[in-house]
A and B are shown apart, each in its own frame.
Chain A
């Protein structure tokens, strides 16, 4: 009985990831970052290129917000009419504030470390895909651990493998990072599409509107 309770609660947490839209959203964000790094590389030395550098945070936050809206819209049209609607509890405000401050602080520390590395040792750029792949892999592993979904562990391994491969290839300047985000984005979108396809096969569209009493 206790096991069944735990299983049903875990399934409720996993439900957000059941249709692959989360991976597709993450993939979209990676593709956006790939486009950002590509244009920054191409437009280097121009006025637009100079303006792009401080816009990184805006791209991440704005892109994340847009993609979150897209995922919610898709879920409202595809997932909720088929298998039902679930709203998740927002964390306590104080804990949420601490978590946001921690995540923001960690992000700024990592960005500062990468900036310092690039300025003091330009050859560090060769290892940037490895560092990116490792950090992204850790984030995916945390997801896999929290919601007990094996496919995120596999994606974490692929992220690390991609980072190692691109670092060994020793590409020019930011090309390695651009390729990493491009490839990872495509991989995530593809994984999400496969999960969505499987979900749609298992859950055909309801013929009648729900008749609830």
Chain B
């Protein structure tokens, strides 16, 4: 196995999934986004998005706050410092791998 491939094998498996990468990428560009926005942008079902968000929250990458706007429930998602660092690292590894192959 070449060194490039070896370094890519150590990529964050939690982020190396298209739907989760997209969710984290969106959250990295903003302060916070609600469930509806993420669902529409990532093109996922409510159940699917819930599962992905739970996994990211368990890893400490995403902070989920359940609140209300008026009488409507509002789920706000925010990338944590750990999540932002992991995403930057993942992007760096991905870019390096693409450049070297």
A172 at interface, CB cutoff 8 A = no
Q: Are A1 and B18 in contact (CB under 8 A)?
A: yes
Closest beta carbon of chain A to B57's beta carbon, Å: 13
B10 at interface, CB cutoff 8 A = no
CA distance A86 to B28 in the complex (A): 12
Within 1-39 of A, Cβ neighbours of B (below 8 Å) are at: 1-2, 4-5, 8-13, 15
Closest beta carbon of chain B to A193's beta carbon, Å: 24
Assuming the A-B contacts A12-B30, A88-B31, are A81 and B46 also in contact, with contact meaning beta carbons closer than 8 angstroms in the complex?
no
Number of interface residues of A (CB under 8 A): 27
User: Which A residues are in CB contact (< 8 Å) with B98?
Assistant: 2
Q: Looking across the interface, which residue of chain A has its beta carbon closest to that of B35?
A: A212
A42 at interface, CB cutoff 8 A = no
Q: Are B22 and A5 in contact (CB under 8 A)?
A: yes
B95 at interface, CB cutoff 8 A = yes
Interface mask (A192-210 → B, CB under 8 Å = 1, otherwise 0): 0000000000000000011
Assuming the A-B contacts A8-B22, A8-B25, A89-B30, are A210 and B37 also in contact, with contact meaning beta carbons closer than 8 angstroms in the complex?
no
Within 140-159 of A, Cβ neighbours of B (below 8 Å) are at: none
Which of B35, B39, B66, B95 is A2 in contact with, Cβ under 8 Å? Answer: B95
CA distance A210 to B46 in the complex (A): 10
A57 at interface, CB cutoff 8 A = no
User: Which A residues are in CB contact (< 8 Å) with B26?
Assistant: 8-9, 12
User: Which A residues are in CB contact (< 8 Å) with B31?
Assistant: 87-90
CA distance A213 to B73 in the complex (A): 10
B34 at interface, CB cutoff 8 A = yes
CA distance A206 to B100 in the complex (A): 47
Q: What 11 additional pairs, Cβ within 8 angstroms, besides A9-B26, A85-B76?
A: A1-B18, A1-B21, A9-B28, A12-B29, A12-B41, A83-B37, A84-B37, A86-B33, A87-B33, A212-B36, A212-B46
Pairs across A and B, CB under 8 Å, 19 listed? A4-B22, A8-B25, A9-B26, A9-B28, A10-B29, A12-B41, A15-B37, A80-B34, A83-B36, A83-B37, A84-B33, A84-B38, A85-B76, A86-B32, A87-B30, A209-B71, A209-B73, A210-B72, A213-B47
